[in-house]
Chains A and B, each alone.
Chain A
């Protein structure tokens, strides 16, 4: 099918190499289309992603099958493809990732390596991938399920032009959540305590000015919290001058 280029702009472009990757089933909230691209997924004007996958060793083909044969099995449409991105493959061909990165030729602002971890103890290969990504200007994202990896791709595409407001310090939240936010910076103080303190002392000034005894009279505020709150408010900012 022919997809116009304007549609392409709103879709994740997927390399033909990824054909048969079960991950594709999980890209549902964003359109995607196959295209002739160097990277595995093109998730934005200036961001691309490579996909690396850990495989459970036991599920892999028997060890005595040579790697070419293994690759051939992978090419079979009935099975899962993209075996060349699996952990096993990675261990046998440690340079694979390096060459894939080199292929990208730094044409993008953001190079993501999306690593699908489906083995519990993946420490050592992950260390390798981490090293490669750090010294070759790639950002490593890890997902633990196909759904999660798919969601990363979707999100990267969907948020392509989104401002960072939601992860910056918020300025326009309501009074109660601001108060909760402030008071819960004091350790052990929970939301219930915030309500108790607020309704007992009427305002934040009231709370900050409260005596130890007044604080202690609030239900649910034990000795420890009383002391922490009181110390926070009354101990000088600078202990030694």
Chain B
């Protein structure tokens, strides 16, 4: 462990209360957790680790080479462990990973002993004062006053979104210490900069086509932003194209628009989603090869076609055109090109370093092929991603260096080259492009593309003289320029010592053609989020898609292994949004830390005598829940709440914050699995809760109808709770969006229809979670308490009679069940049988019709399902 990490641990252990640790992204949270686990002793009670992602779990469990200790490997407390077994586990004193939902259910059911040592909460930036973790912290605090809460996050910028977020998180966890560890912290930078790795910055120019697409995209984005500004709904200052490059831009826009989201017109909403699409397109421009990019654009055109605004913008036409030109062109029979691509490629070449220019005649990836006997033919251009070539060259360089550099250690492990990309897809493609040749990879993509188009052409009988023209096949059989040419021309402008690299590159080029054995190259996708450096111990890292987090990981890795040699290559596209993004992400983090430091100096955390935090807003004034007109009826205004009120809550509802708020209100929460409804307030009142989004969705899926139907069957007062969000507007839509006539798709029509068909259904309109809690309390006054056992049994098919364990939701692949139930032929009555008949959806695919009919109780639904599964996807690309 590095000295700064030891300091973090020491700070944390110092305060028996715990604290929140905010690290720069990329600094290792998992080693901190692992060493806290080492310090943990069973006599202190059990240690529970909350909200760890799968990858975090595995890196916590992995032995750390820099420490000699064996790691304490915490075990998962899975949901299928029976409840009383879990109660035993809690008192063993070991450490466990646990999901918030299980823990809160156990806390509410008093299965957790007060001897718990404390909680470690990862990803603290996701917490809010209404999240389950906060609920747990409060429940734990009332259980035991000595246990600590230690929370970690490495997303500082997520800690500053919203008003005083850090402070609110600390309050809800009842901790009063905030530890900030930015990369620019003295201790951190000392540790990391002692033996910095050797860094080479390679700036690759984009091809003119890419540049033009980028320009067009930015223009389109600008146009969309202007349009958005014109709506007068947003604060103009934040809306710049520059900000638009970041994911956080969506947050900014959404935060501004959320309160009025339901009142916005279709166009404004579309603009917001268009901006997201455009940002993706910018991102993919540097990540995907030309063919894939075109393919993606095609899909976009099909899926967004009519709705989106941007597709109709002038510059977006350019995007499609140029994207196409990067892949293929039309030629006339005499071989004269219709476009101007040649000029572009020549002018491009002028920029190339002189020693490369003699290779000019070896064209990039252009293989011209004209079918002489046809009128119009396709010519493939297949522009290669410039980075691929650079990678190849860098690759070679790496390979050659151990040979001429005699001072090199030469051990096998040192030879590992790690190529780091953003996603798995790029990894696979790069791997191919190195093993084969980049041109071959492009051809493969191209063939796939053409085949796809040709196939749909046959299906749609669409007549056109464009790419899907079967004549395009002729091209595939044609000769291609030999394999030697495409790796010939690096076309790179190097800035620093890259000159040397390219000098070397031009040498190696010839040797490469002989297909020398490839050095051990590993590929790694950042998205995978594993800590690979310790495993592979690379000596060379090529960052194909630069990413701040990974850069930090490299730094830490290097600092932990100061003796090993490490060379890092950054490959950037010059003047691209990629560079901008990388630099701005660092700036953004620094700004976040500066703001956190400021906030820390102004923290207002109320403390009680023991130095503990005081509950934020404890049970609020009971007067608010006393109905106005009933005051006089209560003899002398006698206090009404004598015994504890209780509410039965469906386990699935713990995804939302309502149980937490109800608990705050002093209600007893009984978590169970309900087949009907979400909340049972009394023997008569059952509530189905719908947030606005849920409401729209479940109307669309028809699920709501079904839910209301069963609720009406079993309860005297079935209630549909329509819950608005506090920070969104309290209305469905603006009057302008209402339309002129009664339309079957409008929410008003759907609600009216529901109400007409279920006259007994009661609607509750709630402004916010808190309002809901008040309504619940008010409705419960004068009502009997609900019966837990009865509520559980309601609606459960009587044949399987056994009352299932309370964590049923955890035991099922809910996403798969949801999917299954959305398939044609599958109904509420037969999906259980299907689940019994096959293990997973993948198995379902192979069930023959007869078996399906058997399971689904009929030929008709079985046939419907089978046909749907096997139906050919109608290709609609043009």
Q: Are B765 and A140 in contact (CB under 8 A)?
A: yes
One of A6-14, A64-72, A229-237 contacting the partner: A229-237
Q: Which residues of B contact A47 (CB under 8 A)?
A: 756, 759
Rounded to whole Å, the gap between the CB of A86 and the closest CB of chain B is: 16
How many angstroms from the CA of A109 to the CA of B733 in the assembled complex? 29
Among the stretches A31-39, A55-63, A77-85, A175-183, the one at the interface with B is A175-183
- B299's partner among A44, A162, A195 (CB-CB below 8 A) is A195
Q: Which of A200-240 contact B (CB under 8 A)?
A: 201-205, 208-209, 213, 216-220, 222-224, 226, 228, 231-240
Closest Cβ–Cβ distance, residue B77 to chain A (whole Å): 13
Q: Residue A238 contacts which of B759, B779, B835 (CB distance < 8 angstroms)?
A: B835
Contact B425 A191 (CB under 8 A): no
Q: Is B683 an interface residue (CB 8 A)?
A: no
A196 contacts B by Cβ under 8 Å: yes
Contact B762 A140 (CB under 8 A): yes
Q: Is A95 close to B, CB under 8 A?
A: yes
Alpha-carbon gap, A220 to B277, bound state (A): 11
Give Cα A1 to B824, complex, Å: 54
* Interface residues of A, count at CB 8 A: 94
Do residues A219 and B738 form an inter-chain contact, with CB atoms below 8 A? Answer: no
Report Cα–Cα, A131/B813, bound state, in Å. Answer: 39
List, in ascending order, chain A residues with CB within 8 A of B818's CB. Answer: 185
- Once the chains bind, are A168 and B702 in contact (CB under 8 Å)? yes
Candidates B424, B761, B873, B874; contact of A216 at CB < 8 Å: B424
Closest to A125 in B: B628
How many angstroms between the C-alpha atoms of A140 and B810 in the bound complex?
Answer: 36
CB atoms of A204 and B871 under 8 A apart: yes
For residue A75, CB closer than 8 A to chain B, the reply is no
Q: Which residues of B contact A195 (CB under 8 A)?
A: 299, 302-303, 876
Q: Confirm or deny: A22 has a beta carbon within 8 angstroms of a beta carbon on chain B.
A: no
User: Is A19 interfacial (CB 8 A cutoff)?
Assistant: no
Scoring A residues 148 to 192 as 1 if CB is less than 8 Å from chain B, else 0, what string do you get? 100110111011101010111111000110110111011100111
The segment out of B372-380, B412-420, B596-604, B836-844 that lies at the interface is B836-844
* B 705-738 binary contact with A (CB < 8 Å = 1; else 0): 1100000000001010000000000111101001
- A126 interfacial by beta-carbon distance below 8 Å: yes
Compute how far the CA of A151 lies from the CA of B627 in the bound complex, rounded to whole angstroms: 31
Q: Is the pair B779, A131 in contact by a Cβ cutoff of 8 Å?
A: yes
- A110 interface contact, C-beta 8 A: yes
Residue pair B765, A130 in contact (C-beta under 8 Å): yes
Decide yes or no whether A3 CB sits under 8 A from chain B: no
Supposing A186-B815, A237-B817 touch, asked if A144 and B731 sit within 8 A by C-beta, the answer is: yes
Given known contacts A156-B756, A209-B845, A235-B816, is B303 in contact with A192 (CB within 8 Å)?
Answer: yes
Q: Is the CB of B873 within 8 A of A198?
A: yes
| Cα distance A215–B525 in the bound complex, in angstroms | 15
- Known A-B contacts A126-B765, A186-B815, A209-B845; the reply to A233 vs B742 at CB < 8 A is no
CB distance from B693 to the nearest CB of A (A): 13
Q: Is the CB–CB distance between B741 and A147 below 8 Å?
A: no
Q: Is the CB of A236 within 8 A of B840?
A: yes
Q: Does A199 contact B (CB under 8 A)?
A: yes
Q: Is there an interface contact between A239 and B811, defined as CB atoms closer than 8 Å?
A: yes
Residues of A within 8 A of B750 (CB): 166-167
Assuming the A-B contacts A130-B765, A169-B701, A178-B868, are A158 and B742 also in contact, with contact meaning beta carbons closer than 8 angstroms in the complex? yes
* Stretch from B148-156, B173-181, B384-392, B770-778 contacting the other chain: B770-778
Tell whether, in the assembled complex, residue A155 and residue B752 are in contact, meaning their CB atoms are under 8 Å apart: yes
**Which residues of chain A are within 8 angstroms of B296 by Cβ–Cβ distance?**
196, 219-220
CB-CB under 8 A from A158, the residues of chain B are: 742
**Docked-complex contact B778 and A167, CB < 8 angstroms:** no
The answer for the CA separation of A190 and B277 in the assembled complex, in Å, is 12
A147-B735, A156-B752 as given contacts; A181 in contact with B701, CB under 8 Å: yes
Cα(A47)–Cα(B760), bound, Å: 12
Cα A129 to Cα B607 in complex, Å, equals 41
Chain B residue contacts of A44, Cβ below 8 A: 756
Question: Of A94, A159, A216, which is within 8 A of B749 by CB?
Answer: A159
Q: Is A133 an interface residue (CB 8 A)?
A: yes
Q: Which of B823-878 contact A (CB under 8 A)?
A: 823-824, 835, 838-842, 844-845, 868-877
Contacts of B280 in A (CB 8 A): 220
Say yes or no for B199: interface residue by CB 8 A criterion.
no
Contact of B424 among A94, A176, A226 (CB under 8 A): A226
Q: Which residues of A contact B38 (CB under 8 A)?
A: none
Q: Are A205 and B763 in contact (CB under 8 A)?
A: no
Residue B295 CB within 8 A of the other chain:
yes
Q: Which residues of B contact A109 (CB under 8 A)?
A: 759
Q: For residue A2, which residues in chain B have a CB less than 8 angstroms away from its CB?
A: none
A128 and B628 contacting across the interface, CB-CB below 8 Å: yes
Is B748's CB within 8 Å of the partner chain A? yes
Q: Is the CB of B765 within 8 A of A142?
A: yes
Is A182 a contact of B823 with CB atoms below 8 Å?
A: yes
Q: Are A155 and B742 in contact (CB under 8 A)?
A: yes
Given A154-B742, A169-B705, A231 contacting B813 (CB threshold 8 A): yes
Q: Do residues B299 and A199 form an inter-chain contact, with CB atoms below 8 A?
A: yes
Rounded to whole angstroms, the CA-CA distance of A203 and B730 in the bound complex is 42
Which B residues are in CB contact (< 8 Å) with A208?
A: 841-842, 844-845, 869
Q: Are B738 and A187 neighbours in the complex by a CB distance under 8 Å? A: no
- The minimal Cβ–Cβ distance linking B825 to chain A, given in whole angstroms, is 9
Closest to A111 in B: B759
Q: Which residue of A lies closest to B774 (CB)?
A: A127
Instruction: Evaluate contact between B816 and A233: CB separation under 8 angstroms.
Output: yes
Q: Which residue of A lies closest to B293 (CB)?
A: A219
- Whether B756 lies near A152 (C-beta < 8 A) is no
Q: Chain B contacts of A198 at CB under 8 A?
A: 873
Contacts of B685 in A (CB 8 A): 134
Q: Whole-angstrom distance from the CB of B421 to the nearest CB of chain A?
A: 11
Report B286-328 CB contacts with A as 1/0, cut-off 8 Å. Answer: 0010001101100110111000000000000000000000000
Q: Does B284 contact A (CB under 8 A)?
A: yes
B815 and A240 contact, CB distance less than 8 A: no
* B356 CB–A CB distance under 8 Å: no
Residues of A within 8 A of B702 (CB): 167-170
Q: Are B527 and A222 in contact (CB under 8 A)?
A: yes
Once the chains bind, are B771 and A127 in contact (CB under 8 Å)?
A: yes
> When the two chains form the complex, which single residue of B293, B425, B761, B838 contacts A217, counting CB atoms closer than 8 Å?
B425
CA distance A187 to B813 in the complex (A): 13
Interface string of A86-121 (1 = CB under 8 A from B): 000000001100000000000001111000010011
Is B757 within 8 A of A237, CB to CB? no
Answer whether A228 and B815 are a contact pair too, CB < 8 Å, given A112-B755, A216-B423: yes
B126 within 8 A of A: no
With CB as the reference atom, state the residue of chain A lying closest to B736: A147
Please name the residue on chain B nearest to A134 by beta carbon. B762
- CB of A29 closer than 8 Å to a CB of B: yes
Q: A156-B752, A232-B815 are in contact. Are A205 and B845 (CB under 8 A)?
A: yes
From B304, B525, B817, A223 is in contact (CB under 8 Å) with B525
Complex Cα distance, B844 from A160, in Å, reads 42
Residues of A within 8 A of B746 (CB): 151
* Residues of B contacting A223 in the complex (Cβ-Cβ under 8 angstroms): 423-424, 525, 527-528
Q: Please, which residues of chain A bring their CB within 8 A of the CB of B704?
A: 167
B428 at the interface (CB under 8 A from A): yes
- Other CB < 8 Å A-B pairs besides A164-B757, A175-B874, A239-B811, 17 of them? A124-B624, A128-B629, A148-B732, A152-B748, A155-B749, A160-B756, A167-B699, A169-B702, A181-B701, A182-B822, A185-B815, A187-B815, A194-B303, A199-B299, A205-B845, A217-B425, A222-B423
Binding site for B on A (CB under 8 A): 29, 44, 47, 94-95, 109-112, 117, 120-124, 126-128, 130-131, 133-134, 137-142, 144-145, 147-148, 151-152, 154-156, 158-160, 162, 164, 166-171, 175-176, 178-179, 181-183, 185-187, 190-192, 194-196, 198-199, 201-205, 208-209, 213, 216-220, 222-224, 226, 228, 231-240
A selection of 21 A-B contacts at a CB cut-off of 8 Å is A110-B756, A112-B755, A123-B767, A130-B775, A133-B763, A134-B779, A155-B742, A155-B748, A159-B756, A164-B757, A195-B303, A196-B296, A203-B870, A204-B871, A204-B873, A208-B844, A213-B424, A219-B296, A226-B424, A234-B842, A237-B839
